[in-house]
Structure 1
Amino acid sequence: MKKEQVVNCQFSVWYPIFKKHTIKSLILPLPQNVIDYLLDDGTLVVSGSDHNTQQTNTNRDSDAEEDIQWSDDETTTTVTAPEFPEFTSKVQEAINALGGRVFPKLNWSAPRDANWIALNSSLQCCSLSEIFLLFKSSDFITHDLTQPFLQCSDQDSPDPVINYELVLRKWSELIPGGEFRCFVKENKLIAISQRDYTQYYQHILKQEEQICHAINEFFSQHIQYNFPDEDFVFDVYRDSQGRVWLIDLNAFGEVTDSLLFSWEELTSGGIISQQQEGPAFRYTNSEVTVQPSPCLSYRIPRDFVDLSTGEDAYKLIDFLKLTKSQQEESEEEEEEENPPQ
């Protein structure tokens, strides 16, 4: 896997090529101050007058054990999250243009490892605050921002300049049993894996031949020879009518989860030599082989340790603000539905 291949797998590179065959999306440049906020996981931003800020810093230096006083008084220094009014306005406008609900991601990754912190336990977002809560809790997002070329073989070459972007995809209710990951080597589709291999889906067993045929046909008609690289990985969704949609593109290398295959067999040529007709297709074929989700290891521990030690107050602040906002919206809706007599 070369750095150039990783660059080519950025959403803004492949989306214009395959726009007709994927979910409608909008791409917004990510301002540097927003990137700094996402990475500044443990630093508190102090608001208030210059005098109060200076006094607070002086007190902290002289007496590290002194408690911070929390108050609603405007004259008291309080801990607040930064605001990005211009960017917030652009994001909300884009969300509204996509129907009011979106699936957020960066150049490569979505915060799939952080859906546990969302109030609806999904990556569906309706505001920038919900996106920030997911992004600041995601190791996948941090990887995108700090070390996107970590496992590339050409480490001696300079890292390409990356312009980070917020990708907003129109929210679609995708059934996990319809998602598949496809591996392409030298522009040949060599393997297909069930995306959600942690579950057994009976329809996959019954429709194995139809699924393989539909994906293979989609690849040959729309994907093959149209992507800049000849080795890559792409994810697709097959809907209830049998139509196939492109969901994502990834680099052909260990940075991408090989699911029910191993990278050794994908790169050694073993899969190709075993092929008779079409790509190798693997899926969970019984409930006995069901496995735990790999994202379970990302749930709770590190973030709650940060919260309990006070090292990551932003996550708590964002979470509480979001909870309060949703509670207020719920109360307003109840009042509208049940006006006082």
Structure 2
Amino acid sequence: MKKEQVVNCQFSVWYPIFKKHTIKSLILPLPQNVIDYLLDDGTLVVSGSDHNTEQTHTNNRDPESEEDIQWSDDETTTTVTAPEFPEFTSKVLEAINSLGGRVFPKLNWSAPRDANWIALNSSLQCHNLSDIFLLFKSSDFITHDLTQPFLQCSDQDSPDPVISYELVLRKWSELIPGGEFRCFVKENKLIAVSQRDYTQYYQHILKQEEQISHAIQEFFSQHIQYNFLDEDFVFDVYRDSQGRVWLIDVNPFGEVTDSLLFSWEELVSSGEIAQQQVRGSRVFCSTGFIGHWTVSVSHGVCAVRAQEGPAFRYTTSEVTVQPSPCLSYRIPRDFVDLSTGEDAYKLLDFLKLKKSQQEDSDEQEVDEEGENAPQ
């Protein structure tokens, strides 16, 4: 995977090419002060709403007796004011209204799918800039886009291309996860198709395997093949209830993109997939790269087409249902580092904290014993 391939997968690059075959979207340049705000590690304070954004945080504060508290000089009060972006806020609200009042947000490449847990009803549906900021500032995927989009490229010796970051607002559409599929293209040939939400079993995929595969191949040959800037890439599609196929996203052909029910080893060598097709119509799922986690689906049985055309894999039984890979992003990063031993300094700090807490506890017990001692 080259840096140029990553650049070509930016939304603003592929959207004009396939505009007729995807969801209506608007693209807004992302100002530098907004980028700085998104990368700020300070307190999560969102702006862009109509209500007052000034928040006050006070030590030892009791809301029930707020009026009776007399604060002394040694008690600290910290006021955090959310940054304001009036011009950008106005443009975003205008764009949202033109798209029907509800949008799905993303940056040049990624959407904040790993942060849906923090949103209302765990949905990525946004109505204003505050909703967008809340998701973006909680997302590792967004941070990756902003800080290291070329991390896994093979040509690291070459200078990084200059990126103009953009906010993409897509008209909100209720997509059923069972209708989404990821397609892998190598040398302009569709070599593999995977169920997008492979953690769940959808009975209609098993019943409509032939129709789904045929519809995706036809869509690819008529609208996608030879029209993209690269010959190796990955694209996501959605097949609606009427059988029509829509383009959802385009991704680089490399490990930065989740391989789902395939492994990148076999995708790079398409002959391995072909051999599995000859051996039978069912195989065990391969190991897939999911974000920053490697998940083994060794017991998941998936179907593979045993005829000419791309390998087609999907979950065939409720027994193979897996938890969503994005659940791992709900765990604080510090906890992950501690559990895996990746950050020795955090472990030392944790042990020092535990030691300090133990010493404080011992001192408190000694004081209590002294107070309770007979006079």
TM above 0.5, yes or no, is: yes
Q: Compared with structure 1, are the counterparts of its residues 13 and 73 closer, same or farther at alpha carbon in structure 2 (3 Å cutoff)? A: farther
Q: Compared with structure 1, are the counterparts of its residues 64 and 331 closer, same or farther at alpha carbon in structure 2 (3 Å cutoff)? A: closer
Q: Compared with structure 1, are the counterparts of its residues 67 and 139 closer, same or farther at alpha carbon in structure 2 (3 Å cutoff)? A: farther
Is this contact kept in 1: 2:177–2:197, CA < 8 A?
yes
Is this contact kept in 1: 2:46–2:134, CA < 8 A?
no
C-alpha distance after superposition, 1:203-255 (max 9, x if no partner): 00000000000000000000000000000000000000000000000000000
Supply the distance in 1 between the matched residues of 2:175 and 2:266 (Cα, whole angstroms).
30
For residue 77 of structure 1, give the secondary structure of its aligned residue in structure 2: strand
Q: Compared with structure 1, are the counterparts of its residues 67 and 318 closer, same or farther at alpha carbon in structure 2 (3 Å cutoff)? A: farther
Q: Compared with structure 1, are the counterparts of its residues 31 and 304 closer, same or farther at alpha carbon in structure 2 (3 Å cutoff)? A: farther
Is this contact kept in 2: 1:191–1:281, CA < 8 A?
yes
Partner of 2:311: 280
Note the residue ranges of structure 2 that are not aligned, 5 or more in a row. 278-307
Following superposition, the deviation at residue 337 of structure 1 comes to 61
Supply the distance in 2 between the matched residues of 1:118 and 1:331 (Cα, whole angstroms).
42
Compute the TM-score of the two structures, normalised by the length of structure 2: 0.73
Following superposition, the deviation at residue 22 of structure 1 comes to 0.1
Is this contact kept in 2: 1:307–1:316, CA < 8 A?
yes
Following superposition, the deviation at residue 67 of structure 1 comes to 18
Supply the distance in 2 between the matched residues of 1:158 and 1:14 (Cα, whole angstroms).
23
Supply the distance in 2 between the matched residues of 1:189 and 1:337 (Cα, whole angstroms).
79
Q: Compared with structure 1, are the counterparts of its residues 204 and 300 closer, same or farther at alpha carbon in structure 2 (3 Å cutoff)? A: same
Following superposition, the deviation at residue 178 of structure 1 comes to 0.2
Is this contact kept in 2: 1:133–1:315, CA < 8 A?
no
C-alpha distance after superposition, 1:28-65 (max 9, x if no partner): 00000000000012269999999999999999999999
Following superposition, the deviation at residue 78 of structure 1 comes to 1.9
Following superposition, the deviation at residue 290 of structure 1 comes to 1.0
Is this contact kept in 1: 2:48–2:84, CA < 8 A?
no
Following superposition, the deviation at residue 274 of structure 1 comes to 3.4
Following superposition, the deviation at residue 270 of structure 1 comes to 2.8
Q: Compared with structure 1, are the counterparts of its residues 79 and 286 closer, same or farther at alpha carbon in structure 2 (3 Å cutoff)? A: same
For residue 236 of structure 2, give the secondary structure of its aligned residue in structure 1: strand
Partner of 1:10: 10
Q: Compared with structure 1, are the counterparts of its residues 71 and 104 closer, same or farther at alpha carbon in structure 2 (3 Å cutoff)? A: farther
For residue 63 of structure 1, give the secondary structure of its aligned residue in structure 2: helix
Q: Compared with structure 1, are the counterparts of its residues 132 and 161 closer, same or farther at alpha carbon in structure 2 (3 Å cutoff)? A: same
Q: Compared with structure 1, are the counterparts of its residues 336 and 228 closer, same or farther at alpha carbon in structure 2 (3 Å cutoff)? A: farther
Supply the distance in 1 between the matched residues of 2:208 and 2:361 (Cα, whole angstroms).
43
Q: Compared with structure 1, are the counterparts of its residues 244 and 322 closer, same or farther at alpha carbon in structure 2 (3 Å cutoff)? A: farther
Is this contact kept in 1: 2:112–2:142, CA < 8 A?
yes
Supply the distance in 2 between the matched residues of 1:215 and 1:17 (Cα, whole angstroms).
18
Supply the distance in 1 between the matched residues of 2:19 and 2:364 (Cα, whole angstroms).
38
For residue 278 of structure 1, give the secondary structure of its aligned residue in structure 2: coil
Following superposition, the deviation at residue 80 of structure 1 comes to 1.3
Asked which structure has the greater RCO (Cα within 8 Å, sep 6+), the reply is: 1
Supply the distance in 1 between the matched residues of 2:70 and 2:205 (Cα, whole angstroms).
58
For residue 57 of structure 1, give the secondary structure of its aligned residue in structure 2: strand
Q: Compared with structure 1, are the counterparts of its residues 117 and 50 closer, same or farther at alpha carbon in structure 2 (3 Å cutoff)? A: closer
Q: Compared with structure 1, are the counterparts of its residues 52 and 211 closer, same or farther at alpha carbon in structure 2 (3 Å cutoff)? A: closer
Compute the TM-score of the two structures, normalised by the length of structure 1: 0.80
Query: Structure 1 stretch 49-58 or stretch 210-219: which is displaced more?
Result: 49-58
Is this contact kept in 2: 1:237–1:245, CA < 8 A?
yes
C-alpha distance after superposition, 1:185-212 (max 9, x if no partner): 0000000000000100000000000000
Following superposition, the deviation at residue 321 of structure 1 comes to 35
Is this contact kept in 1: 2:48–2:85, CA < 8 A?
no
Aligned length: 341
How big is the alpha-carbon RMSD for the aligned residues of Structure 1 and Structure 2? 13.2
Query: Structure 1 stretch 319-328 or stretch 203-212: which is displaced more?
Result: 319-328
Query: Structure 1 stretch 229-238 or stretch 42-51: which is displaced more?
Result: 42-51
Note the residue ranges of structure 1 that are not aligned, 5 or more in a row. none
Following superposition, the deviation at residue 332 of structure 1 comes to 53
Matched, 1:19 2:19: yes
Q: Compared with structure 1, are the counterparts of its residues 31 and 278 closer, same or farther at alpha carbon in structure 2 (3 Å cutoff)? A: same
Supply the distance in 1 between the matched residues of 2:29 and 2:353 (Cα, whole angstroms).
24
Query: Structure 1 stretch 65-74 or stretch 15-24: which is displaced more?
Result: 65-74
Supply the distance in 1 between the matched residues of 2:52 and 2:312 (Cα, whole angstroms).
64
Q: Compared with structure 1, are the counterparts of its residues 49 and 187 closer, same or farther at alpha carbon in structure 2 (3 Å cutoff)? A: closer
Query: Structure 1 stretch 329-338 or stretch 97-106: which is displaced more?
Result: 329-338
Following superposition, the deviation at residue 301 of structure 1 comes to 2.8
Matched, 1:310 2:344: no
Query: Structure 1 stretch 271-280 or stretch 84-93: which is displaced more?
Result: 271-280
Following superposition, the deviation at residue 269 of structure 1 comes to 2.5
Flag the structure with larger Rg: 2
Q: Compared with structure 1, are the counterparts of its residues 83 and 50 closer, same or farther at alpha carbon in structure 2 (3 Å cutoff)? A: closer
C-alpha distance after superposition, 1:111-139 (max 9, x if no partner): 00000000121100000000000000000
Following superposition, the deviation at residue 273 of structure 1 comes to 3.5
Following superposition, the deviation at residue 292 of structure 1 comes to 1.2
Query: Structure 1 stretch 64-73 or stretch 101-110: which is displaced more?
Result: 64-73
Supply the distance in 2 between the matched residues of 1:9 and 1:315 (Cα, whole angstroms).
36
C-alpha distance after superposition, 1:90-130 (max 9, x if no partner): 00000000000000000000000000000121100000000
Supply the distance in 2 between the matched residues of 1:232 and 1:243 (Cα, whole angstroms).
22
Following superposition, the deviation at residue 300 of structure 1 comes to 4.5
Following superposition, the deviation at residue 312 of structure 1 comes to 20
Is this contact kept in 2: 1:43–1:312, CA < 8 A?
no
Following superposition, the deviation at residue 295 of structure 1 comes to 0.3
Supply the distance in 1 between the matched residues of 2:252 and 2:56 (Cα, whole angstroms).
48
Q: Compared with structure 1, are the counterparts of its residues 309 and 98 closer, same or farther at alpha carbon in structure 2 (3 Å cutoff)? A: farther
Supply the distance in 1 between the matched residues of 2:136 and 2:145 (Cα, whole angstroms).
11
For residue 125 of structure 2, give the secondary structure of its aligned residue in structure 1: coil
Is this contact kept in 2: 1:236–1:246, CA < 8 A?
yes
